């Protein structure tokens, strides 16, 4: 198993853990953590799978860079919305989940 493939497998594991946590947790911060872990796993899978046995590939690496910025923008936006929501409701989770 090449390094790349090994890390791709780690990526799958991270995705799985993230998905599990995303479904299980209700607190929004935890769900965002889960989302970010899942995202990292997904990026690992993307690069690892592409580089397995072929050496570095700039295309998926560039995609992941794009993906990281998108992820941080989404997370930051989610946090802004969450804080605004917490400010008016005092709740850490969404109403129907309570």
User: What span, in angstroms and rounded, lies between the C-alpha atoms of 39 and 94?
Assistant: 22
User: What span, in angstroms and rounded, lies between the C-alpha atoms of 37 and 89?
Assistant: 27
Q: How many residues bind another protein (CB under 8 A)?
A: 94
Q: Report the nearest approach of another protein to the CB of residue 97 (Å).
A: 9
> Which residues have CB under 8 Å from 32's CB, separation 6+?
75, 78, 79, 82
Under rule CB under 8 A, which residues in 11-70 are in contact with another protein? 12-40, 42-52, 54-70
Under rule CB under 8 A, which residues in 70-89 are in contact with another protein? 70-89
Q: Report the nearest approach of another protein to the CB of residue 8 (Å).
A: 7
Q: Which residue from 79, 73, 77 is spatially nearest to 92, judged by alpha carbons?
A: 79
């Amino acid at each position: 198993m090449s390094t790349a493939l090994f890390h791709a497998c780690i990526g799958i594991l991270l995705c799985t853990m993230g998905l599990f946590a995303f479904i299980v947790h209700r607190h929004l911060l935890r769900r965002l953590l889960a989302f970010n872990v899942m995202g990292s796993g997904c990026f690992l899978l993307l690069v690892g799978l592409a580089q397995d046995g072929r050496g570095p590939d700039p295309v998926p690496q560039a995609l992941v860079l794009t993906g990281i910025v998108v992820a941080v923008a989404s997370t930051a936006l989610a946090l802004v919305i969450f804080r605004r929501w917490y400010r008016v409701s005092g709740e850490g989770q969404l109403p129907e989940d309570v």
